[in-house]
Structure 1
Amino acid sequence: MKEHYKGIGHIAIYTVDMDQSIAFYEMIGGSVFKRDGVETPEGLKKLALVEFGGFLLELIEPPAGTLVPSGEGSIPHFAVYVDDLDKTAADLKAAGVISFTAPEKKVLPNTFGGLQNWFFTGPSGEQIELLQML
């Protein structure tokens, strides 16, 4: 299966103030790559990709008035770029991975220029995102 993996996609970090977090990472040498948002039932979840230290951080600000989801720390998941999301997920399932967090992949054609992803959990509850840009 290792032939599918193309490298770390990003490291996700929750923030309570998107602008403050962006200012901090810019101050220490980072730069905003893209900003976006996703509508949720609770409201707009703000997103930003920040280039920093040779990789991307995904800053996530939950909708106004909501807290970081329970059970998740300040780093909720890490993402791995894959060449073919469907094939990678099928190979993982064939290898015995049964911890996918949704029955189907999510396709977000308008987020960060278009992406599809699918999450599963590791043995300690860590969330792993399989990420394919469209």
Structure 2
Amino acid sequence: MSERYLGLGHVAVYTRDMEESIAFYEKLGGSVKGRGGVSTPAGEKKLALMSYGGITLELIQSPGAMPMGEGNVPHFAILVDDLDAAAAEVRAAGVDTFLTPEKKVLPDLFGGLQNWFFTGPSGEQIELLQML
């Protein structure tokens, strides 16, 4: 069956405010690929597809309380070629939500990596990841 897999389709991220999340990801170089909605008994669920960092994010704004229980994606990682430069660009875009003051360097994990996490407007964690 794996020969049928074409790659990652998208990563779904719940958002409290669709416009705020779109503006956030656009500020980081993303672009809107499409917008839509789905009717639910509680009202319209807003959806947007964004191209960001070589992947597609599906932003979801529920009409009611944001469902944040088991099964939610705890973070997604953007693979970068230069962690320090990527973090500097994110900061230059006005993002000041890094979770630690310094990057983490893990030379023995998965052949060596360094990473740095920051959060998006709805609390989603985004990892900048450089393999060493």
* TM-score, with structure 1 as normaliser: 0.52
Superposed CA RMSD? 2.0
Larger strand share, 1 or 2: 1
* Amino acid of the structure 1 residue aligned with 2:50: V
Task: Find the counterpart in structure 1 of residue 53 from structure 2.
Answer: 53
In 2: Cα distance, 1:53 partner to 1:37 partner: 24
Confirm or deny: 8 A CA contact 1:14 1:75 kept in the other structure: no
CA shift in 2, pair 1:30/1:43, >3 Å: same
Deviations 1:81-130 (A, max 9, x none): xxxxxxxxxxxxxxxxxxxxxxxxxxxxxxxxxxxxxxxxxxxxxxxxxx
TM-score when normalising by structure 2: 0.52
Where 2:59 maps in the other structure, the secondary structure is strand
**Distance of 2:11 and 2:68 partners within structure 1:** 19
Count of residues in Structure 1 that have an aligned counterpart in Structure 2: 75
State the identity as a percent. Answer: 60
Structure 1 counterpart of 2:111? none
Structure 1: segments with no counterpart, 5+ residues: 79-134
Structure 2: tracts of 5 or more residues without a match? 77-132
1:12 maps to which residue? 12
Larger radius of gyration: 2
How far did residue 68 of structure 1 move? Answer: 2.0
Where does residue 22 of structure 1 map in the other structure?
22
Q: Equivalences for 1:49-128 in 2 at 5 Å?
A: 49-63=49-63, 66-69=64-67, 71-72=69-70, 75=73
Retained in 2: the 8 A contact 1:51–1:57? yes
Q: Look up the equivalent residue of 2:30 and give its one-letter code.
A: G
